[in-house]
Structure 1
Amino acid sequence: MTRASLDKQPQDVAAMFDDVAEKYDLTNDVLSLGQTRLWRRAVAQALDVRPGERVLDLGAGTGTSSLPFAAAGADTVPCDFSLGMLREGKKRHPELPLTAGDATRLPFADGVFDAVTISFALRNVHDTDAALREMRRVAKPGGRLVICEFSHPTYRPLRTVYTEYLMRALPPVARSVSSNPDAYVYLAESIRAWPDQKALAGRLQGAGWKGVAWRNLTGGIVALHRGANPGAPGGR
């Protein structure tokens, strides 16, 4: 699967991530020119977890994104639908309770998490709106949501350079560091097809999240979206 589509088949996407699991974190650091770590830090600051809180980290892959929450004293549950990623994560971080799960049908009870986050994975979910509703279902009333995802640069010249990098420079770089460079062609195209900041905010609101806002990182190459669960899934 090398062509991006917003009608994604979960088994195909999971297989793609299984194939790149071993070098995924390294490849991301190279392709982002080292920005990945800064973006993760911004997520941790935005989520602002406290000791004893329960945090769900969706699309956690090898669990690298979960480490700041665990270090802050939160009961952190990394969750991903790629078994290959989870196996690799278990080797690296055996202390983390890595959990297999589909973002559209989470294996958790209602209202059990103080905070939910997902970084660079929402665009790979085959039903974005269902995933946003599921995140709200498992969040406690007043629970916090932070989404970190590639977005649309706000400065036109940067947008042009960024698009050229994605489609021309990224594939050859991926070939030099990744076990499956075709996967990164898919990922580049999925970034181009993803809704802009305002459109994603509207989808959060449509899923029942309140107080929705976003903040651009790196000129809008990445955006952090935030929301809060006003109550039970039925709106109480």
Structure 2
Amino acid sequence: MTRADLGKQPDQVSAMFDRVAASYDRTNTVLSVGNAPLWRAATTRAVDPRPGQRILDVAAGTGTSSASLARSGASVVAADFSPGMIEVGRKRQAGVQNLVFVEADATKLPFGDDEFDAVTISFGLRNVNEPKTALAEFFRVTKPGGRLVICEFSTPPAPLVRTGYGLYQRYVMPPLVKLSSSNDTAYDYLNESINAWPDQRTLAGWIREAGYTDVAWRNLTLGVVALHRARKPLS
């Protein structure tokens, strides 16, 4: 079975996602206990896509979130470094207008400066081996005044919730993965990457370091997930 480790070497992570691409969306819905569509809807509202705008969805996977953004009439680029994910995404989203898929590394985006009205990434930043480099790239391709939206697993602020979530990860998630995923060992990495990821305040600091302003976050599902928002200054 193919899985990555916390070294997050791009070839390992890409190969892991290639392997799980076919069942990825189904597994996410199961593991999130049905919350994944709610998180996607909250992210779409935060991005606030509008007709005529150009939006970059990084680590887009099979394009489920990208399709939600494109239905607004905005032009959406779904970027991912997993060829397997892109292949599945192009098939599943074939009927969605204003949506194109591009193979791209989040740390070396193949786009010009100031190109997008909004840049968003959902549950992908923690899989990047150099997240601060990725944030700098997001800043580079965002238009002045443009938006950044990051939806990512985070740290529940309440100790009781943290304990309950830890028990879920340890005892409930493994059997669910075996039932719903084509590569259950890959999801061992999922838990490892979530537990190693910094909390909300730390990520907000990274976003500010990249140059964004108006940085804020909102906890979803009691802080299991956090939705970060920011803007690129006009000058």
The answer to whether the superposition gives a TM-score over 0.5 is yes
Do structure 1's residue 134 and structure 2's residue 137 form an aligned pair?
yes
Q: Indicate the residue corresponding to 2:175 in structure 1.
A: 172
How far residue 168 of structure 1 moved from its aligned partner, in angstroms, is 2.4
Contact 2:3 2:16 in 1 (8 A): no
State the alpha-carbon separation in 1 of the partners of residues 39 and 135 from structure 2: 21
Stretches of 4+ moved more than 3 A in 1? 1-4
Q: Indicate the residue corresponding to 1:54 in structure 2.
A: 54
How far residue 3 of structure 1 moved from its aligned partner, in angstroms, is 6.6
Where 2:152 maps in the other structure, the secondary structure is: strand
Question: Taking structure 1 as reference, are residues 3 and 17 closer, same or farther at Cα in structure 2, changes over 3 Å only?
Answer: closer
State the alpha-carbon separation in 2 of the partners of residues 196 and 226 from structure 1: 15
For normalisation by structure 1, the TM-score amounts to 0.95
How far residue 167 of structure 1 moved from its aligned partner, in angstroms, is 2.4
Alignment of 1:20-169 (within 5 A): 20-94=20-94, 95=96, 96-169=99-172
State the alpha-carbon separation in 1 of the partners of residues 63 and 32 from structure 2: 18
Q: Indicate the residue corresponding to 2:17 in structure 1.
A: 17
State the alpha-carbon separation in 1 of the partners of residues 62 and 3 from structure 2: 22
Contact 1:3 1:185 in 2 (8 A): no
State the alpha-carbon separation in 2 of the partners of residues 150 and 64 from structure 1: 18
Where 2:39 maps in the other structure, the secondary structure is: helix
State the alpha-carbon separation in 2 of the partners of residues 13 and 156 from structure 1: 31
Amino acid of the residue matched to residue 75 of structure 1?
S
Do structure 1's residue 211 and structure 2's residue 209 form an aligned pair?
no
Q: How much is the aligned-residue C-alpha RMSD, in angstroms?
A: 1.1
Question: Taking structure 1 as reference, are residues 22 and 3 closer, same or farther at Cα in structure 2, changes over 3 Å only?
Answer: closer
Where 1:98 maps in the other structure, the secondary structure is: strand
Where 1:181 maps in the other structure, the secondary structure is: coil
For normalisation by structure 2, the TM-score amounts to 0.96
Percent identity (aligned)? 55
Where 2:100 maps in the other structure, the secondary structure is: coil
Structure 2: any 5+ residue segments left out of the alignment?
A: none
How far residue 216 of structure 1 moved from its aligned partner, in angstroms, is 0.4
State the alpha-carbon separation in 2 of the partners of residues 3 and 127 from structure 1: 15
